[in-house]
Structure 1
Amino acid sequence: MSKAHSGLLLVVAVALVDGEGRVLVQQRPPGKPMADLWEFPGGKVEPGEVPEAALVRELGEELGIEVAPDALVPAAFASEGLGGRHLLLLLYVARQWAGVPEPRHASALQWVKPAEMRALAMPPADVPLVDALERLL
């Protein structure tokens, strides 16, 4: 058995799916780790938070939209070493939300079909989730 990581980083993300089967991705801003890469909106789960509550909070902060916890459908996960820590990324799908997404913490937003995501530079943990989304949508 290998040496344990210094910590598990639990992250939640969402594939917001519009009526045309497109998914919203956001571009990481300059100066941040993995700057300019395209990713699913979301963020870290804080201590004491359940994943769905964390995602509802993050979507309000990052995109200015409201998503009901019961509108979040678990879809896939990714497990990735990240320096001395280990990232566990839980991906949900949502087809209903209130408000119009705006890039509050991102350089840009775009709506793309899952197959089009292959042409985007994405963080390593997001890449395997594209296959899962293609099968689901």
Structure 2
Amino acid sequence: MSDRVIRVVAALVTDPEDRQLLVRKRGTDRFMQAGGKPEPGETPAGALVRELAEEVGLDVPEAALVPLGPFTTEAANEPGHRLEAAVFRLPLSADAAAAVEPRAEIEELRWCTTAEAAALGDLLAPLARLLLPS
């Protein structure tokens, strides 16, 4: 992997049926967890709260985010870059999951079972593949 690093925050968002939310950003082919790059001075959880509101219309408190830890993979859409992600789990109620919608740079979203996510093959971003249950 490269010395060029992209630092992001990402949410493993799940619904009551244990499906996970995957998003595809405009101009890209790969599906990934919602999230993005922290702004200067933001904590990882604070950045994720902001990104979730901007990208999928979720208004969640930081306390709802469960840290899963740091993960490192190759970047999905930036060849030659390494991705360092602070990942949080966010379980949603059925009502909250139903209200999720693509906003900002999100072109498409999908609620996927583990098998459906795995079946995306190369269309699943490296971090999303790493986060699939084994």
User: Identity rate of aligned residues, in percent?
Assistant: 35
- For the 8 Å contact 1:12–1:54, the answer to whether it is kept is yes
Show CA shifts across 1:59-107 (max 9, x none).
0110111011011001243213555653201221111475811111222
The amino acid of 2:7's aligned partner reads: L
For 2:113, the aligned partner's letter is K
CA offset at residue 23 of structure 1?
Answer: 0.8
Q: Distance in 1 between matches of 2:74 and 2:111?
A: 28
Corresponding position of 1:5:
3
* Equivalence for 1:55: 48
In structure 2, relative to structure 1, the CA distance for the partners of 1:16 and 1:22 (3 Å cut) is same
**Local SS of the residue matching 1:59:** helix
Aligned AA (2:11)? V
Q: Tell me how far 1:54 sits from its aligned partner.
A: 0.2
Where do 1:1-137 residues align within 5 Å?
5=3, 8-30=5-27, 35-82=28-75, 85-96=81-92, 100-104=99-103, 105-120=105-120, 121-130=123-132, 134=133
Q: For structure 2, which runs of at least 5 residues remain unmatched after alignment?
A: none
Q: Contact 1:25 / 1:109 at 8 angstroms: preserved in 2?
A: yes
List per-residue Cα deviations over 1:97-122 (Å, max 9, x = no partner).
75811111222111111232111112
Distance of 1:55 and 1:74 partners within structure 2: 11
> Which protein is bigger by CA-based radius of gyration?
1
2:21–2:33 Cα contact (<8 Å) kept:
yes
User: Structure 1 length normalisation: TM-score?
Assistant: 0.78
Q: Structure 1: how far apart are the matches of 2:23 and 2:80?
A: 26
**For residues 85 and 36 of structure 1, what CA distance do their matches in structure 2 show?**
17
Q: What is the rounded CA distance, in whole Å, between the counterparts of 1:36 and 1:85 in structure 2?
A: 17
SS at match of 1:36: coil
